[in-house]
Each structure stands twice: as C-alpha cells, then as structure tokens.
Amino acid sequence: MTRIAAFLLGAALTAAPALAQIGNPAGMAPDTRLDEPGKPAPHQTNTQDRLFAQLAAAGGLAEVQLGEMARDKAEAEGVRDFAAMMVEDHGAANARLAELAETVRIPLPQELAPDQQALRERLEAAEGTAFDLAYVRAQVVEHQKTAQLLAWEVGQGQDGEIQRFAAEQLPVVLGHLEQAQRLNAELSGAGGPAR
C-alpha cells in the first residue's frame, strides 16, 4: 500500500464517526422535495421514516393494549409492575411519535396488526402462570424487534426529529428488554421467584 493510500484510508477511518449525521439523505422517495440537490427539505414524508413510524406505532399500540391486559390479569406482582410500566412508557412514546408523525403527515395505524391481534387472542385464552410466562416471553421478542427497529431508524432515517426520537427511545427499550429477560428467567425457574 502506498503512503497516500494508507493516509487516505486512515483519514477515512478516523473521519467516519464525524460523517455520521442526523437527517440522512440516502434512500429518498421519488417525490421527496429537495432544498438543494441531494438534500431533502425538512419535515416531509419519506420512505424510511414512514416505515419506521408505522411499525413503531403499531408496536407501541400493542405494548399499551397488552400491558393493560397484563396489568389486570397477571398473577406475579413483577409481571403486573412490568405491564404497568409498559402502559406508561409506551403510552408516552406513542403520544410523542404521533406528534412527530402529524408534523410530517405520516398516517399511523389505529388497530393492532394481524400478528399482534393473534398474540392478544392467545394471551386472552391463557390464565395464571401460563399467562405470565406467555406475556413475558412475547415481551422479550417484541422488545428485541423494537430495539432493532429503533437502531435502524437512527442509522437510516431522514427526518432528524424522528431519528432523535428513535435515539432517545432505544435505551428505554433496551432497559425494558433486560427487565423482560430477567422476568422470563425468574418465571422459567432459572432466576428465582418473580415477585
């Protein structure tokens, strides 16, 4: 490798974090308005942010509805407390996302997606410890998916405000995931009793 190539490679690697940006212009939809060539105008719908907002809103809606059910139906106190936290935290996040989506005219779902409705029906049929375990295991899976979705928006989104929302929510969701994993271990007998 020549000195120049080595220098350019080193410069590129050290500059990479500085090049990360909020408001990524990659992946613009054909109808994206531009402030100047290659730079999307602020506060408009686009492919990445629209998909993120719709998926995040659907997940948040399910978190609140399933959390309300679990808060009333769970046997273990730890599961009831976790469910109450889901209702509060995801309810607040849903409200903030709805404000952001309204600003950029992204329609959000108002009903559960088919897979979420099927999960709701399975949970409605379960009772006692079986309910607690099914709810907590679903929470582990859903929070893993949500964490991936949030990380994707942070890296691929175009709207800076929606990217900031995702960045703010990611540590919250990771905390929820950790608590759900702990509850799952306790309920499965691997980590002691769920209080």
Per-residue pLDDT of 10-43, as tens digits, reads 444 444 443 344 555 555 666 677 778 877 676 6
Taking the CA atoms of residue 99, residue 103, residue 105 and residue 110 in that order, the dihedral angle to the nearest 10 degrees is 10
The pTM of this model reads 0.77
pLDDT at 68: 98
pLDDT at 26: 53
Buried b (16+ CB within 10 A) or exposed e, 73-94: bbebebbbbbbbebbebbbebb
Q: What is the pLDDT of residues 43-99, one digit of tens each?
A: 666 788 899 999 999 999 999 999 999 999 999 999 999 999 999 999 999 999 999
Phi–psi pair at 46, nearest 5 degrees: -155, 165
Q: What percent of the chain has pLDDT over 70?
A: 78
